[in-house]
Amino acid sequence: MNRTWIPDLLFLSAVAAFLLATLHDPFFWDAIQLGSKHAHFFYENQLRWAVLPIGIDSGHAPLFGYYLAVAWSVFGKSLLVSHFALWPFVLGAVWLLLRIGIRVAGTKWGYWLVPMVVLDPVVAGQWAGLGPDVVLIFFFLLSLYGILNRLPLIIVLGILGLCAVGMRGMMSAVALGVWCAFYVVVPRFQASTQRPFPWSMLLLFLPGFVFAGAFLAWHWAATGWVGYHPDSPWAPTFQRVGPWGWVRNAAIIAWRWADLGRWAEWIFLAVALWLNPAHLRRDQRWVLLLCCTICLLSPTTLLHQNVSAHRYFLPVFMVLHIWVLTCASQLNVSRATRIGLLSLLCVSLAFGNRWIYPRGVSMTWDSTLAHRPYHTLRNDMLAYLDQNGIPYQSVGTVFPALGTGEQVSLNGDARKFSALDWEHNQYILTSNVFNDIDLPDYDLLSKNWHLLHRIERSGVWMELYQLKKNDHDDLPLQDSLQ
């Protein structure tokens, strides 16, 4: 009896159980804009395609938001529908991981690729938070699967999907194209593969590249800009930096690549290559692809002020996991030792989902499951405000708490907090999830504001402050509300 389907069923069922546990999680972080706000625009305009309003247009092809709007139009607007709309991409990615893992590491070890990727905090955080990179992960894996198996239609669909996701999808598609070009043009790489890459394979990238060029040309004609513009809300993050800024950004990139448990993979590779440098030659295709993705995805981070979120490097992490698994499957060690090493790598990635930096150190919270308690805390804080009659507009705060209840939870609540203004806010809402409130700001809060209410859960906390009435008013304001 053929039981090759049993591992597939087990892994798909495990991931489905995880997805069921997150069905009520609202839009979070960048997904509020790239998912909810974009989807609301198309949904409220009866799915009519048009240029996004300037305040939410980030220059990407907004097909992720349009897809959600279509799902809402057919099945109703709710968080459940939004989550279920992404299930095909998540479960499809798991199936592709199984196929790619077996292709590169054999049936004995190939299944390990699934836990390595699924436990990656960046992947898990995107899957839970309705992030747009859920779709990018799927199409990157689909493209890679098509290339490894020389499947023309799959390659076309994968590259086209990548280019439809956004700018980083386009850059990832170019990275895959450059990777394939090496095997078409360079004799050394041609000789290293048993199945040469035909020239015609490069033509399979054209539909995606044509779409990318057409969208960028259309957007330029409609708005006069591509990528970002000086008046956009995120323009400060695209400010150019000088040489010292490049050094700082390079250090941040290195930190991102090792952060959240991924350091164990780099240590494993370093030790494996030191013990047996032949791994570098045997795994040259993954080394080359890793270099291609790094070279295409890193320049934006190096050159600009603050474009360094973990999720920006997801294709790099995908290739890293594949290379680590390939290397591990070739180690000249016992079966028990190999299982132990792979288990330790997975445990390191899993614990990365619980790593929280101390106050004052920024985190990209949509890149870890550690953000999930924030949703409960947010609901509890909103209930506290309602119980004590505190108007939302009197509360100042920062990203990602500035969206309305409708934009975050699809609950119809149009109320929203005010942007942080030290001169005019009566209350200030803070959390370690908010990167835009720094240590000097907390020093100012401790001097001139009362800590009115604090809640904490699993390392995530929220604090509500109220401005002191005068310099001599040191009574706990919470007591005055009771």
Which amino acid is present at 157? Answer: L
Asked if residue 105 lies in contact with residue 329, where contact means CB atoms within 8 angstroms, the answer is yes
pLDDT, tens digit, 9 for 90 and up, residues 276-334: 888 777 888 999 999 999 999 998 888 877 778 899 999 999 999 999 999 999 888 89
Phi, psi of 203 (to 5 degrees): -70, -25
For the packed helices 167-185 and 133-148, what is the interaxial angle rounded to 10 degrees?
10
Tokens of 282: 């045997």
Exposed, middle or buried, 440 (CB in 10 Å: 0-12/13-18/19+)? exposed
H/E element holding 110? none
pLDDT of residue 12: 94
Which amino acid is present at 320? Answer: L
pLDDT of residue 55: 86
pLDDT of residue 478: 45
d(CA 353, CA 350): 6
Question: Residue 213 — left, alpha, or beta (φ > 0 → left; ψ -120 to 50 → alpha)?
Answer: alpha
Q: What are the residues facing 451 on neighbouring strands?
A: 465
Instruction: Report the Cα–Cα distance between both ends of the chain, in Å, rounded.
Output: 70
Supply the DSSP symbol for 198: P
Ranges of the chain with pLDDT below 70: 1-4, 187-188, 190-192, 194, 231-237, 470-482
pLDDT of residue 481: 36
Q: Where are the domains of the chain?
A: 5-352, 372-481
Asked if residue 250 lies in contact with residue 302, where contact means CB atoms within 8 angstroms, the answer is yes
Tokens of 363: 């985190």
pLDDT of residue 472: 43
pLDDT, the chain, mean: 91
pLDDT of residue 414: 95
pLDDT of residue 156: 97
Burial 330-360 (b: 16+ CB within 10 A, else e): bbeeeeeebeebbeebbebbbebbeebeeee
Residue 121: which of 339, 357, 365 has the closest Cα? 365
Asked if residue 68 lies in contact with residue 39, where contact means CB atoms within 8 angstroms, the answer is yes
